[in-house]
Amino acid sequence: MTDILNLDALKVTRLVVLDGRERTLRSMTVEQFIEADDFDAKLANATGKEKLTLLIGKLLEFLDGTTHADLLKLDMTQLMALLAFARGSDLSKLTDAGEDAEGGAVGNAVAGSK
């Protein structure tokens, strides 16, 4: 018997709901992963405003059907949750109760699978 690893079946689809619409958050390719070091260096040397501009630009590369204006309308809690989700962080701690694991307010985000 031959073992087969079907990489085509290994693709993970992650969705973000923004303004009532589902948008696909694409996974990072190997090439993008390699380029991430350059991005991290730019980020490390950027001012606060420049960091936000860089991060929003990076999100737009991966979040299909989303505009710069869409992301500028987010509040900071939403933006930070989106950045964490894009990085693959476990957002299951964000609940309808609106508190994180330490009891801090995080809004009314709900993360999970569909």
93-97-99-100 Cα dihedral, nearest 10 degrees: -10
- Within 10 angstroms of residue 59's Cβ, the number of other Cβ atoms is 21
Q: Per the structure block, which two tokens stand in for 58?
A: 């990076």
Is pLDDT larger for residue 103 or for residue 1?
A: 1
> Can you give the pLDDT at residue 92?
67
Residues 6 or more apart in contact with residue 94 via CB below 8 angstroms: 81, 100, 106, 107, 109, 110, 111
- Any idea how long the chain is? 114
Question: What is the percentage of the chain residues whose pLDDT exceeds 90?
Answer: 56
* pLDDT for residue 107: 47
pTM: 0.71
Q: CA 93 to CA 28: how far, in whole Å?
A: 24
CB 65 within 8 Å of CB 21: yes
